[in-house]
Amino acid sequence: MWSILVITCIIFQTAVAIFLLNGVRTGDSMDKFLRAMLVILLLHLSTKFLLLAVLKDQFLYAQIPTGFSLAYGPLLLVIARSILGKPMRPRAILFQFLPFFSLSLIYLTLVTAGATGRIPRSVISGYAAWYQWMMIPSLYGYPIYVRFLLRRNKTPEGRLAAQMANIFLIGISTGICLFTLHLTIINIPGFDPRLLPYICFSAIPVLILRYRLRKSEEKRVVVVERETPEQRAMDAVVDRRAAGVAAMEAAAADVSAADHAATDRRYEKSGMDAARMDEYEAALTAFMEKSRIFLDTELSLEGLASRMKMPKHHLTQLLNERVMKNFYTYINEYRIAEAVARLNDHAREVNILSLAFDCGFNSRSSFNNYFKKITGYTPSAYRKKQLEANGAVAPSVLIPGTSPSIS
């Protein structure tokens, strides 16, 4: 009874998540992979419900593994590779899912033969014991490997994939522990060791739906970034009329000169010499390129200083005196570098609307402004230009005075 109730609730929850997810489609590959994860979960539990509640065959429910357990890990790996910008080829994906397809076919054969009595149930029990040796390594190995791949990825997609990996690890671990206790210490009549993993898996629709609704909301609402006066002035430059160019640049030069004078006075007593500045600059560049922290839409000056284990005022001084940029300009140039790299990849399906948020921007308008200032094109125009090149090598886009290198 408890098994039917729990499975029914999770099926309903997953079906609702799929329905709501269809209402906020974006068309990107991540959206398709997440929907596939929910469909697999729905089919998995629906099959169990059919055996337990409709056919009322406790033996087939408990003894014949469906094979769906071998689909979660490969799909999680496909998602992780997509997040890292290294999508798997169709042939490689098919190879990863080959155990799932093969054992699903065996499952259908055994269920049909077992329900009609054409095969001894002892054979089915032997197959179930053999199957565990494939299921457990898959549910452990893939999530652990995905966690390793995404250990430095701080994007919302990376966090979601890591959370799903944790759920699979927790689910299979708790199921094995309780099953061992049931056999050795506590003998609970009617105990179903699958219930706890199923309950853990019920968190997956919640996480996916929360992620997708948040991304959809970000794309509908224009978020005003916390910008300095200098940055807002630069954003205005993109759309200004030609008649006002000279006046704007002259005003910017006056502000810049005043800022440099104020900066020199501000940091006179900071105690950071040139050698320390060199160390900080090298460490900052290496950290940005290795961690890709700029993809985090919620990154702040305080957050970067904390991750760098650097005093905030030292980071501010480094950016102002050595890099000659404010925090938002410095971070957003890395984000544009990432966007250009993705647009230059002709094999990648790029949704311009999603690209801004995937690269760390909180609004499309800010993304368009920065992209045009740095490349001379809007994102759509740049993408069109690359596609018209018919596979030619994309030209380098240089960011004057910055460390990101785009080719």
199-228 pLDDT, tens digit per residue, is: 888 999 999 988 887 776 655 543 344 444
Tell me which residue of 178, 267, 195, 236 sits closest to 45, measured CA to CA: 195
Q: Which two tokens stand for residue 56?
A: 């009322």
- Would you state the structure tokens that stand for residue 285, as one six-digit string? 């560049």
Residue ranges for the chain with pLDDT beneath 70: 1, 24-28, 115, 182-183, 185-191, 216-271, 390-407
Cβ(63)–Cβ(230) below 8 Å: no
pLDDT of residue 234: 46
Q: Name the CA dihedral angle for 169, 170, 173, 176, rounded to a multiple of 10 degrees.
A: -120
- Which amino acid, residue 285? T
Specify the amino acid at residue 142.
Answer: Y
Per-residue model confidence (pLDDT) at position 166: 94
Polymer length of the chain: 407
Q: What is the pLDDT of residue 79?
A: 93
CA atoms within a 13 Å half-sphere pointing along the CA-CB vector of 376: 6
> Quick check: helix, strand or coil at residue 280?
helix
pLDDT attached to residue 244: 47
pLDDT at 267: 54
pLDDT value, residue 276: 84
User: Residue 11's pLDDT is what?
Assistant: 93
Q: How far apart are CA 117 and CA 111, in angstroms?
A: 10
Whether the CB-CB separation of 359 and 342 falls below 8 Å is answered with yes
Spell out the alpha helix ranges (H) of 225-378.
Answer: 229-239, 245-266, 274-291, 301-308, 312-317, 327-344, 352-358, 364-375
- pLDDT tens column, 113-146: 776 777 777 777 777 777 777 788 888 999 999 9
Residue 134, pLDDT score: 76
Phi-psi map region of 225: left, alpha, beta (phi>0 left; psi -120 to 50 alpha): beta
Distance separating alpha carbons of residues 15 and 269, to the nearest angstrom: 62
What pLDDT is stored for residue 122 in this prediction?
73
Domains of the chain, with CATH numbers?
A: 2-220 (1.20.1070), 267-388 (1.10.10.60)
Quick one: pLDDT at residue 186?
66
Looking at residue 218, its pLDDT comes to: 56
Tell me which residue of 41, 67, 63, 53 sits closest to 197, measured CA to CA: 41
Token pair of 340, please?
């250009």
Residue 397 confidence (pLDDT): 44
